[in-house]
Each structure stands twice: as C-alpha cells, then as structure tokens.
Structure 1
Amino acid sequence: MGSGKRGLIATAVTVVCAVTVLAVPGTAFAAPRPTPTPSASATPPPDKHLEAVRKKLDKLYHDAALATDSYNAAQEKADKQSAAIVDLAKKIVEGQKKLDRLKKRAGAAAAAQYRTGGLPDEARLLLSDDPQEFLDGADRTLQGERAARGLIEELTRTQQDLAQYARDASARWKELEANRRAKDAARKKIKKQIAAAEELQARLAKKEKERLAKLEEEAALKAQTVWLGSGILGEIKGKASAQGKKAVAYATAQIGKPYEWGAEGPDTYDCSGLTSQAWADAGHAIPRTSQEQWKQLKHIAVKDMRPGDLVIYFPDATHVGMYIGDGAIVHAPRPGRTVTITGAGSMPILGVVRPDA
C-alpha cells in the first residue's frame, strides 16, 4: 500500500475512531464538566419515537442481511451444481463415444468369427491337413475368446458408468432446482425487508431523518467507546501478513462504492462480497458468505487479530468486516450506504477469523 493511501486511511481511522484515546493506558482525564442548563439552542434529548425507529430499522436490515446470506449460499451451491452437471454431461458424451467404439469392436469380432465358419475345434482338426496349423489356429481362437470376454466386460462397465452418470446428473439437477427455489425465496424476503425499511424512513420529515442519522452515529460511537474502554486496543499488536496487506489494500480501494445485496464487485458489494473478493484478489479463496466464513475459517482471539483478519458480527454471523488496524474495520454496511471505515467495536462482535491461517 502506498504512503498516500496509508495517510488517507490513517486520517479516516482517526476521524471515525477518535475515541481510541480512551483505551490508551495511563491517559489522564479532566473532571467532568457540570451539566449545562438546557437552552433553546441545546441538542434535544433522544426522541423515543426515533429511537424506536432506529431499532426497527436495525432489525429490518439485520433480517435482510440474514436473507442475503441465504441468497448468496444458494447461489454458490447452484453455481457448483451447474458446474457438476456440465462435468457429468461431458462424461456422458465421452462415455457414449467409448460405448460406440466398443460396439464396433464387438461387431468386428463377431464378423471375423462368422468368416471362420464358427466351426468347433474337432471339425477344424478333421478338415485340416496340418496339425500345427490347427494348433496355431486354436491358440489364436483362445486369445480371441479372452479378448472377447474383456471386450464384453468393458462394454458392461461403460454402460454401468453411463447409467451412474445419468443418475448423478439427475440428482444434481434436483439439487439445483431446490437451490434456485431457495434463492428466489431469499430474494423476495430481502426485497420485502428493504422495502419496509425504506417505507419507514420515507415517512420521516427531513429533520427527523437527520436526527435519526445522528442517533445511529451515537449508538455506534457508544459501542466503540465501550469496546475501546476495555483496553483491548493495547493488546492488539499483530502485524499483517503479505496476503493480508493485499486484502486490506483491495478492500480499502473500494471505499465509497455502494452496498448492493448479492454483489461481489467490481462496482457494488455486500459485506461478504467485499471480504471474499478482497481475499480472492490476495490469492486466497475463502467462503462467499459471512456465516460460512465463520464456520470454515480459523477462529482467532480478538486480542490476537491482525490487519486482514475478518471480524464477524451478531450472534447469527450475519455481518462481516475486515480489520485494518488502529481499532477499525472496512466494511459494506447495508442498503443505502457505501463501503466505509468504522470502529471494529461499533457492532456486537461474535468473533474473529483468519483466512490465511
């Protein structure tokens, strides 16, 4: 990563995570100032109605994220099943060609036997003037019989293989159709949740929307402050691996691009689309969804994480961001937002996984 980009990221981290000073051991704090007397110009207390709206929006977008993981998982399985069906189709074509060649060989052998008259050995001995010629012919006949048996066995195996390929292809097709149905169901749920969230926000006045955005920022900042206040940042000292640096460089280069569910770039991303593509760019393929990333990748203690590691959020592993250092992650938040940097502790952390363990 170039020095210019490092400077840009450092500045962004400083802005977003200004509260990191709370985690520095030995930092002195001034005594709290007296609470000022409320005035007309003072910021009003959090509106209970807007706080309820914020929580409702969080739930709607969380449910949309859960459905997005289901959609992405179904899409990934469907892609694998499609590839398997194509592979089986190639095997069936090659098997049929082999069967045709074997049938031609069997036909040629039958024709050769017909030309010899198909006489038994005793009859050919009586008709032969040269016993040696008979013995040579008998030996060739024995070899021919062995070859014929081998040919029949190969024909049988090829026919059995073709039948198994056909059964496998049929099973894969059924799985493909099931995953297509699952994908369609997830797509409908995603659209429903996002539409409900957009409708809820559309009913708010301009000032209410501004206040709602402020409440969201305050909630994230509060969570980050609590996380940093535990002193965790003083324990995190891991250095990025070579691949981790590449993954971070890719992810941070996407900052400002819109969130889109099911997207893997290059113009839009969802949360796991960003992390999976970043690691693919670094030369290391990882699972497509945040839930599978949590299931399949090596778990790391939060204090041991390093830039490039993935931070998994919420009890059902429905969100993921990439740790970039200084207590921050880069992530694709949700519909209506863009890829951005935020505090690693701004959401409930389930755990940390390492792709290049």
Structure 2
Amino acid sequence: MSKSGRVAALLLCLGLLAPAAGGAPASADPPGAAALDQRITDAARRLETVVEQYNDAGIALRETLARARTLDGTLAPLEADLDARQRTLGGLAASLYRHNLYGPDVTLLSTRNPRDFVDQLLTLHRIDTEQRRAIDAFRMARDRVDATRAALEATAAEQNRQRARLAATRAAIEQQIAALQALRRDAYGGGYRLPDVELPPPPYVPGAAGRAVAFAFAQIGKPYRWGADGPDAYDCSGLTSQAWARGGARLAHNARRQYHEMRHVSRADLRPGDLVFYYGGISHVGLYIGGGKIVHAPEFGERVRVEDADFAPVHGYGRPTG
C-alpha cells in the first residue's frame, strides 16, 4: 500500500475520514499538512478526554478500595463482640444449671420451703432478664456483622466492575495511541520528533502559588504522556496536581475533580497559580502564570509549554489553597 493509502486507512480507523459511497475504499489522496495536523489535534483532544475519564476511574477505584479496607477493619471488633456474647450466654447457662432452674416444675419439686422458692423465682427472673438482654445484644451484633459483610461484598463487586471498566478504557487508549503514532510516522516520516520548546524566564510569584508556578516552569519541554504525573512526563491534570503539591495543596489527578475541589474565581480575578479549565466536559486544565498565559501539558505528541490562556474554550477558573 502506498504512503497516501496508509494515511487514508489510518484516518478511517480513527474515524477521521469518511468512506467512499457504496463502501468502496476511500480516495487515497492524503490531506494537506495543515489539514492532517488539525485532524491529529482533534483526535488527540478526544484521546485526552478518555485519559481524564481513565484518571477519574482510577481515583474512584482507590476510593472503593479504601472503603473496603475500612469495612474490613470493622469486622474484627464485631467478631470479638459476638464471641463475648457467646461467652455470656454460656455463663448464664452454667448459672441455670448450678441453680437447678431449667424449668418451673423442676424448681418447685426441688424447693423445701416457700422462702427458698421465692428466692429461686427471683433468681430465675434476674437470670432470665440478663439472658434475654444478652441474646438481644448477640442478635444485634450478629446483624451488624452480617450487614457489614454484605456491604463489603457489594463494595468488592463494584471494585471488580470498576476494574473491568478501567481495563476497557485502557485498551481503548492504547489502541488510539498506537494509531496516532502510526499516523504521525506516515505523515512526517521516520524523522518526526517533538518540536523544541523555548524556555522563557519564569515570572516572580510569591508564596504557595509561586512554588506551583516555579515547578510548572521547570517541567517545560517535557513530553505529554497519558496518565503521567512526572517526573519525566505529564498529562494535563498530572502537571497541575504535582505543581500544586509543591504549593501545599493536594489535588486529584483529574481535571473535572480538580475544578470541583477548589474555589472558583472570575476571569477578572485571575492570579498566577490559578487553574484554567477547558471544554464543556472539563477535559483539560492548565496553570495560569499571568499576562494571559498558562503552562500546560497540551496533548499527545506535544511537550509542556507556555500558551495563551484562551487557546481553547474556557469552562472556568479555580484557585487552589496551599
């Protein structure tokens, strides 16, 4: 197959080129360089959305595992409670045996005078009350254990479903990455390399925001890689989460979660260190550095760089607190 045919086939695979009418193979005329770059950019943007979904699923899975560990930790004391109740019941049974109080008929026959009979009835009543209370407590503890076990099993089942979703998402990401890499190779030849990124001087920003900005600047030129949070590569939310970790704020490795974790600010109130979120589904994020610029990990095939804050549709702005 010719180079142009391979490009067309890859574009069809990625859904970027419509097949010819009647199901015939698509015309093999490759798109111009600018059009091809735009299609690659569009595909990479869709891929980034999947990456952010993958990151979010990973966070959800870790939360499920944490809940499972918490539930597991409650089982041991409940089991100990059950054992204690069983020992209490055993003690009551032994007390009944010692007092020969297994039934009213036996009690009456074994009593030689009314005073002893009354004393034994009072003892029977006290022991019976204690026994009933112990039995009730035993049943409540047992029910708590059963409910906890059921919750743990439900959590484990949800964990397995999340793992299956993660595996499917990961496979889709890897397939798209492989197709994009092949598309790059066919479009640019074997000599394609990431463009060099000129490192501008970092602005002076004081405090926690300054530490976040300084860290982001130090990552300029490093490649984008899905799911990465350094030190050699980053995706968009991986870069912002690591930058603000230096500023003392713990952010999720997911753009949408980051947006909902912090105070929102207006465009007019933007300060260096604030985060800028993009697209309706909040699938991208960058770190504002002032002067209408951000540092961000753009997309597959690109490097961390400085860019205009309005390079894409803005969803909103947020301010982490360190």
Report the TM-score when normalising by structure 1: 0.70
> Of residues 220, 225, 235 in structure 2, which corresponds to 1:260?
225
Determine the structure 1 residue equivalent to 2:156.
173
Equivalences for 1:148-167 in 2 at 5 Å?
A: 148-167=131-150
2:309 corresponds to 1:334 = no
Question: Contact conserved, 1:240 with 1:306, CA < 8 A, in 2?
Answer: no
**What displacement does 1:141 show?**
4.2
Q: What is the CA–CA distance in structure 2 between the aligned matches of 1:116 and 1:307, rounded to whole Å? A: 82
Cα RMSD between the aligned structures?
3.3
Q: What is the CA–CA distance in structure 2 between the aligned matches of 1:199 and 1:188, rounded to whole Å? A: 17
Determine the structure 1 residue equivalent to 2:27.
none
2:290 corresponds to 1:321 = no
SS of the equivalent of 1:147 reads helix
Determine the structure 1 residue equivalent to 2:48.
65
**What displacement does 1:137 show?**
5.7
2:285 corresponds to 1:302 = no
Equivalences for 1:23-62 in 2 at 5 Å?
A: 49-62=32-45
SS of the equivalent of 2:137 reads helix
Q: What is the CA–CA distance in structure 2 between the aligned matches of 1:145 and 1:266, rounded to whole Å? A: 69
With over 3 angstroms needed to count, the CA separation of the structure-2 counterparts of 1:56 and 1:146, relative to structure 1, is same
**What displacement does 1:209 show?**
5.7
- Count residues with an aligned counterpart: 286
Determine the structure 2 residue equivalent to 1:194.
177
Question: Contact conserved, 2:78 with 2:141, CA < 8 A, in 1?
Answer: yes
Determine the structure 2 residue equivalent to 1:183.
166
Letter aligned with residue 270 of structure 1: D
Letter aligned with residue 349 of structure 1: V
Letter aligned with residue 253 of structure 2: R
**What displacement does 1:314 show?**
2.5
Deviates most, 341-350 or 55-64: 341-350
Question: Contact conserved, 1:274 with 1:331, CA < 8 A, in 2?
Answer: yes
With over 3 angstroms needed to count, the CA separation of the structure-2 counterparts of 1:77 and 1:100, relative to structure 1, is same
Q: What is the CA–CA distance in structure 2 between the aligned matches of 1:206 and 1:126, rounded to whole Å? A: 106
Question: Contact conserved, 2:212 with 2:244, CA < 8 A, in 1?
Answer: yes
Letter aligned with residue 286 of structure 1: L
Letter aligned with residue 348 of structure 1: P
> Of residues 346, 354, 357 in structure 1, which corresponds to 2:311?
346
Equivalences for 1:73-112 in 2 at 5 Å?
A: 73-112=56-95
**What displacement does 1:204 show?**
2.8
Letter aligned with residue 92 of structure 2: A
Q: What is the CA–CA distance in structure 1 between the aligned matches of 2:42 and 2:91, rounded to whole Å? A: 73
Letter aligned with residue 76 of structure 1: I
2:108 corresponds to 1:123 = yes
Determine the structure 2 residue equivalent to 1:233.
none
SS of the equivalent of 1:321 reads strand
Q: What is the CA–CA distance in structure 1 between the aligned matches of 2:223 and 2:213, rounded to whole Å? A: 18
Question: Contact conserved, 1:64 with 1:189, CA < 8 A, in 2?
Answer: no
Letter aligned with residue 123 of structure 1: L
Determine the structure 1 residue equivalent to 2:18.
none
**What displacement does 1:349 show?**
2.3
SS of the equivalent of 2:249 reads coil
Q: Where does structure 1 lack aligned partners over 5 or more consecutive residues?
A: 1-46, 218-238
Equivalences for 1:9-20 in 2 at 5 Å?
A: none
What is the CA deviation profile of residues 148-173 of structure 1, one whole-angstrom value per residue up to 9, with x for unaligned ones?
22211111111111111122112212
**What displacement does 1:272 show?**
0.6
SS of the equivalent of 1:192 reads helix
Q: Where does structure 2 lack aligned partners over 5 or more consecutive residues?
A: 1-29, 199-203
Question: Contact conserved, 1:60 with 1:194, CA < 8 A, in 2?
Answer: no
Letter aligned with residue 128 of structure 2: E
With over 3 angstroms needed to count, the CA separation of the structure-2 counterparts of 1:109 and 1:65, relative to structure 1, is same
SS of the equivalent of 1:322 reads strand
With over 3 angstroms needed to count, the CA separation of the structure-2 counterparts of 1:128 and 1:328, relative to structure 1, is farther
Letter aligned with residue 163 of structure 2: R
With over 3 angstroms needed to count, the CA separation of the structure-2 counterparts of 1:114 and 1:309, relative to structure 1, is same
Q: What is the CA–CA distance in structure 2 between the aligned matches of 1:288 and 1:128, rounded to whole Å? A: 81
Question: Contact conserved, 1:251 with 1:274, CA < 8 A, in 2?
Answer: yes
Q: What is the CA–CA distance in structure 2 between the aligned matches of 1:246 and 1:74, rounded to whole Å? A: 29
Greater RCO structure (CA 8 Å; 6+ sep): 1
Q: What is the CA–CA distance in structure 2 between the aligned matches of 1:207 and 1:287, rounded to whole Å? A: 37
**What displacement does 1:61 show?**
0.7
Give aligned-pair identity as a percent.
32
